[in-house]
Amino acid sequence: MLKESTHCSRACGGKQGAGWLVLLCLLVGAGCAAGPSRIDRLAWEQSRLIDLTHSFGADTIVWPTEQNFQLVVQQAGEMPGGYYYASNRLEMAEHGGTHIDAPIHFAKGGQTLDQVPIERLIGAGVRIDVTAQCARDLDYLITIQDFERWESAHGRIPNRTIVLLDTGFARYWPSRQQYLGTELRGLEAVRVLHFPGLHPDAAAWLVRERQVKAVGIDTASIDYGQSTTFETHVVLLTQSVPVFENLSDLRNLPHREFNVIALPMKILGGTGGPLRVIAVVPPSH
């Protein structure tokens, strides 16, 4: 790891590549797009950083049975000591907005959020574009055949990759009606949810055949809206593959040859939590 980190540091410009460039290279050293030999050809200082995170606010979409995100102002003003001071309190569900599902969410005895290895959250990424299929069918289930078609066009999904599923649904955010299929709240709403997801057989294929690090999607759940058994969650999380949900617009990503950095709040014992996700796209894309 020291050798790779040193190599990445040199690629960032050695002594000249100070600050966030060096930090970025050290982070991505855990999963550079094609290993240390590739890093020589990546000008990190020219790379595009694409934020894949929805902002948290009053209109943040949460699961229908959860409470809305709230930012509660505690202090905002001039203090007796002559300085300005502001401080807020957050009230939020673990699984609202752009967030991560830790294995414990659907796997008894699985890793809690603070136990998810950081190596699972950083690495090479691919974007699987299924926007056309999802435009035709709001309840579309992404299949093994979708992955095979992608590989026919773009090459094999590398092992130990972070797979991002682009359904196009991020464009509906923050409209609950369009994004979830309903404005209703509570258990009644869960029965009428409509949005795409990943078929459990396709999830098992990603784990078995490509040993993926993590899987992300731009919908409210990795299981489609009408799921009642959440099999895809079970397939992935019982194999310690974390899930990223409610990603923002993925359309500006290339199909492959980019890196993902997905860092959640480190919540002791958490089943999930808010996630800041960025993609690092080299200048050649």
CB 134 within 8 A of CB 167: yes
- pLDDT of 1 reads 36
Which is nearest to 233 in space by CA: 35, 95, 66? 95
Q: Are 121 and 242 members of one domain? A: yes
Q: Is residue 86 assigned to a domain?
A: no
Q: Are 24 and 107 members of one domain? A: no
Structure-token pair, residue 108:
């008894």
Q: Are 141 and 232 members of one domain? A: yes
Counted domains in the chain: 2
- pLDDT of 284 reads 77
Q: Is residue 88 assigned to a domain?
A: no
Q: Are 167 and 153 members of one domain? A: yes
Q: Are 55 and 42 members of one domain? A: no
Structure-token pair, residue 219:
């919908």
Predicted TM-score (pTM) of this structure: 0.86
Cα–Cα dist 269/105, whole Å: 11
Q: Is residue 99 assigned to a domain?
A: yes
pLDDT band for position 46 (50/70/90)?
Answer: confident
What CATH number has the domain bearing residue 236?
3.50.30.50
In this predicted model, what pLDDT tens digit does every residue of 202-261 receive, in sequence order? 999 999 999 999 999 999 999 999 999 999 999 999 999 999 999 999 999 999 999 999
**Helices marked H in 91-140:** 131-136
Structural domain that includes position 31: 2-46
Q: Are 22 and 157 members of one domain? A: no
In this predicted model, what pLDDT tens digit does every residue of 104-155 receive, in sequence order? 999 999 999 999 999 999 999 999 999 999 999 999 999 999 999 999 999 9
Q: Is residue 76 assigned to a domain?
A: no
Q: Is residue 70 assigned to a domain?
A: no
Backbone angles phi, psi at 259, to 5 degrees: -115, 155
Residue scoring higher pLDDT (216 or 23):
216
Cα–Cα dist 25/147, whole Å: 29
Q: Are 128 and 13 members of one domain? A: no
Least reliable range by pLDDT among 8-17, 156-165, 173-182, 250-259: 8-17
- pLDDT of 264 reads 98
- pLDDT of 38 reads 52
Q: Are 111 and 138 members of one domain? A: yes
